Amino acid sequence: MPGGKQAAVVTISDTLSQGKREDGSGDALEALLKEAGFQIAAREVVPDERELIAALLLKLCEPGQSRLVVTTGGTGIGPRDVTPEATLDVVQRTLPGMAEAMRMESLKHTPFAMTSRQVVGVCNTSLVVNLPGSIKAVKECMGVITPVLNHVLDVVSGHTAHKE
């Protein structure tokens, strides 16, 4: 089913793109998405380069590709953390409530969550979600947004009939 319940996992990390360590957050994210009923259509690792990230997001959000694109990494305040900027380069609309809900959950576990800059937005008819790069944060954030993903994807694709 092209574009149906298909998701892409994108890990953004200079270190991982050089093959210097294992992709723990990407592995955790893939497992959580499968548990939520998604098929993994793509699994990518890219360095912290704004143009490369934006180009990959655009490709993954083309019609018939992944309806859900979830990134992990690059959401902090370090000089090479550019995932939010790359995401804002490609999304047409943002969903700040989803990003804030994830931050609020993470803030219950660490005060450093207030420095996370993840973005959630719509690119074409796909939802793009930025998550921090730690396994712990991936689990916390996915726990918050998973219950609304199907609804959001339905609405983004134009299925707006109210369901009781």
Distance CA 82, CA 149 (A): 24
CATH number of the domain at 47, please. Answer: 3.40.980.10
Domain membership of residue 144 (yes or no) is yes
Give the Cα separation of 64 and 60 in Å (integer).
9
Give the DSSP H/E element, type plus range, for residue 97.
Answer: helix 96-107
Residues 22 and 141: their CA atoms lie apart, in Å, by 21
Contacting residues for 78 by C-beta, under 8 A, at least 6 apart? none
- Let me know if residue 164 belongs to a domain: no
Please report the pLDDT score of residue 2 as a whole number. Answer: 44
Does the residue 20 lie in any domain?
yes
Range of the domain at 88: 6-156
> Which tokens belong to 59?
């490709």
Question: With contact defined as beta carbons under 8 Å apart, do 68 and 121 qualify?
Answer: no
Rounded to an integer, what distance in angstroms lies between the CA atom of residue 141 and that of residue 159?
Answer: 25
Rg over alpha carbons for the chain, rounded to the nearest Å, is 15
Classify residue 100: in a domain, yes or no. yes
Q: Is residue 34 part of a domain?
A: yes
Closest CA to 97 of 67, 125, 129, 61: 129
- Domain assignment of residue 32, yes or no: yes
Determine the pLDDT at residue 3: 46
Cα atoms in the 13 Å half-sphere on the side-chain side of 125: 15
pLDDT the model gives residue 1? 38
Report the run of H or E that residue 108 belongs to, with start and end: none
- Greatest CA span in the chain, whole angstroms? 49
The tally of domains found in the chain comes to: 1
Give me the residues of the chain with pLDDT under 50, please: 1-3
Torsion of CA 29, 143, 98, 37, to 10 degrees: 60
Task: Tell me whether residue 162 is in a domain.
Answer: no
145 found inside a domain: yes
